[in-house]
Every structure is written in C-alpha cells, then in structure tokens.
Structure 1
Amino acid sequence: MGHSLRSSTLVPRGFVVYNTAIDDGVMLIAIRPASTASLCPICGTRSERIHSRYQRRLADLPLVGKPVRLVIDARRFHCDAVLCGRRIFTERFDGDVLAPSSRRTARLDHIVHHLGLALGGRPAATSAKRLMLPVSVRGRNTT
C-alpha cells in the first residue's frame, strides 16, 4: 500500500512549481501563477501586459519536519482602461490562498490563528515552535 505525494497538496491552487531547493534546512518551493492575465483591482479590466516581476516569500506548512518557504514570482501589470486611475497594478491572488501583503499562506495563518485562540501568548508560541510553524510573539519572530 504505497502513498503518493500529490503536488496539489503542496502548492496552493492556481500556481505551478518551477523549482525546489533546500537552503539551511528550509525547503524553498519556487512557484508562479498559472494564469497569463490578471484583473485590475480598480476597474476590473483584464490585462496580459506585464510591467515587471518581483518575488514574494511566504511561510507555509512544514513538510517532512522542515520549514517551507514559497517563493512566488508575482507580476505587475499595465491597466489599459482609459478612465481607470491606476496605470500599473499588482496581481491579486485568491483571498483564501494568499492575502495581499501577507507573509504566510492562508492555510498556515489558519493554524496559527487557532493556536493563538486555544493557547494564547507564550504557550501558543511554544507549541507552534514544536510543530515547526513560524509565529511571532509581541511582534518578534520566534523562528
């Protein structure tokens, strides 16, 4: 009875893995959006014209006892709508996968949130550290 590891369980939906590495005991998974276009958050116009790219690094659930960081190639697009006040915008991802400006995935944030509710304060940080989850106590990162 063999178990297989599906990439869909490792990578948030809507993304494609293009590289993996292990750096100082941290598993790095480089991903990029599967879509070729994005919608302007102001006017909703669809754009395929890429302005630039940048990388986002997010903490994710640990894998085989190693912390995981997703390295996302995010893109900025041109908005070609004449009446739109925004000329360049950053693509948005599904809110239940990655929130704007977040430092961790929604699935990791969900676990950290419930740990905080159940245990609160330092006990939650200790439990999270045992589970190899990155959390912070009073604004200081414990990992």
Structure 2
Amino acid sequence: MILGSRSCLSVGTGRLLQGLLPHLRELAIGRVDTSGPVVLIEARSEVAEFGCTACGGMSDRVHSRYVRRLADAAIAGREVQVLLTVRRFRCLEPTCLQATFVEQVPGVAGRYQRRTRPLRGVLEKTAVMLGGRPGARLVERLAMSASRSSIEVPPREWTPS
C-alpha cells in the first residue's frame, strides 16, 4: 500500500485515533479533518437502543439527531474538536412523562458539558497547580482552549483522580 493513498489513511485512522484517544473507543470514528489548525473528529455512537433517563425503558425509535461540539485534549500540539452526533430517542413507555431523551455516551462527556473528560481532567489539575491566568497561558501553549475563569475550578467541583 502507498502511505499517501486515501484508502490507507481512512482504514487505519479509526484504530489509530482509538489508540491515541481511548475515551473514544466506544464510538464509530467517521471523518478526520486535519487540514486546518484544529483537528476535527466526526464520531457517533453505534448502540442500537438506549434507556430512557426518566423511566429506564429501552427504546430504538430515533426522534432526531444533532451534533455536539466537544473540545478534547491536544494531539501532537494541535487543538482537537470532537463532532459527536447524538440521537434523541422517543420513550416507548406510555406512562413515562418524558417523551424524548438524548443518548449519553459514557466516558466521553457528561450532560451539558462542552469538554471531554480527559480535557476536563487536565484543566482541573492545572487549576489546582497554577490557578487562573498562569494555567490559562499553559493550556494555550499546550494547544487546548480555556479561559482563566474556566481554569479557576471551585474546590467543591474538583475530585482527585
């Protein structure tokens, strides 16, 4: 195989990224765009059905899809964004008060969060060691984006890992 051919890069890219980013191993890696200053990784879940967050009933009826843009830890000095396509399911239980719910991919990011767990861990450790402005300067040089106010994590939110 020729190393520069598209088929060679697309076949091994998913496995390579899953090795570099083990928190994405439960996801199907689609396209990886390295042409710009930010590495864009398109990913989606391959789980056929998901449990309702209110009643726990399983559902395979997809209501809609949308893309979550998650900041991730840097790769080779480049900022990484994960474009995670998540599905909104219909709850099949007639007594459930929640009509639709969104799948949550464990190990990637929590609900409503815009950073992956590995990036959040780096930012929390930076906050403990350096604090606001110095921490923000360090993570900027490490090709991860965070403001000084997001580096200042209150002690009640920080949990040692």
Residue 105 (str. 1) matches residue 116 (str. 2) = yes
The match for 2:139 is 128
Determine the structure 2 residue equivalent to 1:46: 58
Helix, strand or coil: the match of 1:138?
helix
Contact 1:13 1:97 in 2 (8 A): no
Q: Which has the higher strand share?
A: 1
For normalisation by structure 1, the TM-score amounts to 0.87
Segments ≥4 residues shifted beyond 6 Å: none
8 Å contact kept, 2:43–2:84: yes
Aligned partners of 1:12 and 1:97 also within 8 Å: yes
The number of residue pairs the alignment matches comes to: 135
CA distance in 1, matches of 2:104, 2:31: 22
TM-score (norm 2): 0.78
RMSD: 1.7
2:104 corresponds in structure 1 to: 92
Match of residue 95, structure 2, among 83, 103, 107: 83
Q: Percent identity?
A: 33
Partner of 2:119: helix, strand, or coil? helix
Please, which of 11, 28, 31 is the counterpart of residue 40 of structure 2? Answer: 28
Report the AA paired with residue 34 of structure 1: E
Q: Partner of 2:24: helix, strand, or coil?
A: coil
Pair 1:9-2:14 in alignment: no
| Separation (CA, whole Å) in 1 of partners of 2:30 and 2:81 | 14
Q: Which amino acid aligns with 1:124?
A: G
Counterpart CA distance in 1 for 2:17 and 2:103 is 26
The one-letter amino acid paired with 2:90 is H
Q: Which has the larger share of helix?
A: 2
Give the residue type in structure 1 aligned to 2:81: R
Corresponding residue to 2:74 among 62, 81, 91:
62
